[in-house]
Structure 1
């Protein structure tokens, strides 16, 4: 029998943390208060199509702002069961978020969602949630979520702030540059079988340059860096910058003769 102590130990009781791609999908938010406002912002940041169901008198200033600027669709009344089953050609409901001060109504909506197999979150009622919202740090493409599985939202916020303060400056901008470089690389090496080599080379690039170095790369630098892909090598930043237009550098000769003896600028 194979040894089991070398494998990760199972820790039950957790949640499956995933990045849910809700872009372009319809989400119902029942309620228009402070909690609903936070939920709505999260959904809009994820490019969801948001419908808010709440009498106008119950909208707080932030939700009213979203309605006035056509960032969400507003239904000016209380929730009705038919809201969960829109008639064609309307898109089906992908998710329901409930944030109202009416436990009985919330439970009724939860039960209807279960019947229709629609994922739902009932604010402040963990047993009536298919998923939880965590405390999120956002910096461009970088998203870090801290979840306590609904047990300690305030503690999640404290931990999230601690993590955010420890991150290097411009982390989000550096990730944007990495993403741009990956897109360019897929154009250079688009074949499926190139996948392992692409991943290995991008790992070396990420290890070779610091956050600041990545932020400093411009389009010409990225194009020059991609010239090293075929060789599998990654130049020191000074070498890369020396390849700029008008430098007179023999790029092919430089890449051919590069053996790594320049060293690498390893980022934190």
Structure 2
């Protein structure tokens, strides 16, 4: 059973620390910035891939620190993503993060994660996150492909129209919810 609480975080208001500058570190920083282009990210690693360096050259919100992780790197950080290939180091970083009450994701180690990075489907302002509870990122990736194909491209227009209707509705919150539910019921009626 998946007991995870789905949440969308405004990373532009937080400072994210990524530990690890290899392929997985590249994957994680790319995921963060693809979803939150205004995020502030500090990446710490003794070795940093050229693709990450190129990203940092083009984005002033990325800071690269080319050395081994130090617990002082947690200072002023709100979230940490660990992407090293050293399992003991990953565990040590996770324990240090926990002691400071900093949420931590350790790549490919669900037992050490406070949160998972989800597979994401985007259509304009619609964003759907997919979780398999850390069991199968491959399944999440396939579901993403299915949803990308299934969701129409004109969802943005429909959402703009519904927002305009919501803004025009008078009455209390319950009335507005009932009206919007009535208007959108056509989306879920079986044929």
Question: TM-score per shorter chain, which class?
Answer: 0.7 to 0.9
Give the 3 Å change call, closer, same or farther, for CA 48–180 of structure 1 in structure 2: farther
Rounded to whole Å, the distance in 1 between the matches of 2:24 and 2:179 is 44
The aligned counterpart of 2:77 is 93
Instruction: Output one character per residue of 1:189-241: Cα deviation in whole Å (capped at 9) or x when no partner.
Output: 5xxx6222222333344347x8xxxxxxxxxxxxxxxxxxxxxxxxxxxxxxx
Matched-pair contact (CA < 8 Å) for 2:39–2:61: no
The aligned counterpart of 1:194 is 172
The aligned counterpart of 1:53 is 44
- Does 1:103 find its partner at 2:103? no
Q: How many residues align?
A: 186
Gaps of at least 5 residues in structure 1 are 1-11, 87-91, 211-265
Gaps of at least 5 residues in structure 2 are none
The aligned counterpart of 1:232 is none
Give the 3 Å change call, closer, same or farther, for CA 149–205 of structure 1 in structure 2: same
The aligned counterpart of 1:217 is none
More strand by share: 2
The DSSP-based 3-state class of the residue aligned with 2:69 is: coil
Structure 1 length as normaliser, TM-score?
0.61
The DSSP-based 3-state class of the residue aligned with 1:23 is: helix
Q: 2:128 aligns with which of 139, 144, 147?
A: 144
Rounded to whole Å, the distance in 2 between the matches of 1:176 and 1:52 is 37
Structure 2 length as normaliser, TM-score?
0.83
Q: Which runs of 4+ in 1 moved over 6 A?
A: none
The DSSP-based 3-state class of the residue aligned with 1:130 is: coil
Query: Which of the pair has more CA radius of gyration?
Result: 1
Matched-pair contact (CA < 8 Å) for 1:119–1:130: yes
Instruction: Output one character per residue of 1:77-134: Cα deviation in whole Å (capped at 9) or x when no partner.
Output: 22111111x2xxxxx3211001111112111101101111111001011111111122
C-alpha deviation, 1:153, in angstroms? 1.0
Q: 1:161 aligns with which of 145, 160, 167?
A: 145
Rounded to whole Å, the distance in 2 between the matches of 1:140 and 1:29 is 27
The aligned counterpart of 2:4 is 15
What RMSD in Å do the two structures reach over aligned CA positions? Answer: 2.5
Rounded to whole Å, the distance in 2 between the matches of 1:79 and 1:176 is 45
Greater relative contact order structure (CA < 8 Å, 6+ sep) = 2
Rounded to whole Å, the distance in 1 between the matches of 2:134 and 2:71 is 27
Give matches, 1:1-268, under 5 Å: 12-44=1-33, 45-46=35-36, 47-55=38-46, 57-61=47-51, 63-69=52-58, 70-84=60-74, 86=75, 92-179=76-163, 181-182=165-166, 184-185=167-168, 189=170, 194-207=172-185
